[in-house]
Amino acid sequence: MTLGSDVSGMTTTAASAAAKGLSIVVPVYNEAAGLAALHQRICELAKTLRQRYRLACEVVYVDDGSADATLSIARSLPADAIGVQVVSLSRNFGKEAALMAGLDHARLGAVMFMDGDGQHPPALVEQLVQHWIEDGYDVVYTAKAHRDNEPFLRRLAVHGFYALINWGARQKIPEDAGDFRLLSPRAVAALRQLPERNRFFKGLASWIGFRQIRVDYEPAPRAHGVTTFNAARLLGLSIEGLTSFSVAPLRFASLLGAALAGIAFLFGLSILWEVFTTGKQVPGYPSLVVGLMTIGGVQLIMIGIVGEYIGKILSELKARPIYFVAEHSEKHFEADNADDASKRTAAE
């Protein structure tokens, strides 16, 4: 029985990469106000990539149960310069499920993930594609160049999250890396073979290995609306990432338990020493109550951490689908016909 997978046959070179094509996956949730403008920018990008690399492109919009007109606008987007797929999920399953739906429906070889809020500049895509085609990288990921404009507590929390999730990990997750990244065909094939349902794309994309490179950028301001990722959702996503990709919380709980046990042992020795040397006994009620409350609180925290992991195990054992597609439409773009039309227009 083979416990690994050989994807060496999908290795791309500068000569063969362009023939594989590029699928751009864009999960959208209540992005009706700016979706048409974003599509226009992606179309311009597709024209540039076709002229420079002869690279066929498609865009896969995954509507994650939007409550506004996002789906109807996505249906009406033209395939003037790029093939268009619209995948509508039956409800809001979350961004990780939407990314997986886009990955499953991508028709072409390489896959790029970008957000639908306009903060991921399409102009940067050309640089990511260059690293893939010309430099031979399999995973080209982007990361925030700095967090100077964010509150100190948020920066401290982000740094602490990455320090905890990378604690003892063999494959580190780059700090500040986002979902805006490009995967080569063999990286896509590897990612599709990972069976877990509780997915953390940032971690999985790093775990598969291959040649990876980081590209720093400054996110553009949102063109419309406000972010739906408030503090509570960010905390939930952090817990999801930690419990899905790392055993660091369990290790931390074990070390905390060992530390408290050591402190309790030393405290007990100090009491015995005082009894033997002075004959006086330490008043027991306050120290007893404080000790019980401390140990009880730590035990509840440990039970909660273990419960998170048990919940993940239960979710994997149930093996429920990650998402359901309620509607799927596709518009094809014929590059040869478009090139012929442009040549006729230029001749006229």
Give per-residue pLDDT as tens, 36-68. Answer: 888 888 888 888 888 888 888 888 999 888 888
Specify the CATH class of 14-245+322-331 in words: alpha beta
Tokens representing 165?
């999730």
State the pairing for strand pair 139-144/212-217. Answer: parallel
- Residue 344 pLDDT: 42
Residue-averaged pLDDT of the chain: 75
Element (H, E) at 180: strand 177-183
Element (H, E) at 183: strand 177-183
Q: Is the pTM of this model over 0.85?
A: no
342 confidence band (pLDDT: 50, 70, 90): very low
The burial of 53, by beta-carbon neighbours within 10 Å (0-12 exposed, 13-18 middle, 19 or more buried), is given as buried
Burial of 136-154, coded b for 16+ CB within 10 Å and e otherwise, reads ebbbbbbbbeeeeeeeeee
Residue with tokens 């990780």: 96
- Residue 9 pLDDT: 67
Residue 134: CA count within 13 A, CB half-sphere: 9
Cα radius of gyration rounded to whole Å, the chain = 26
Tens of pLDDT along 308-335? 777 777 766 777 788 888 888 888 876 5
State the pairing for strand pair 22-28/57-63. Answer: parallel
Task: Tell me what percent of the residues of the chain surpass a pLDDT of 70.
Answer: 70
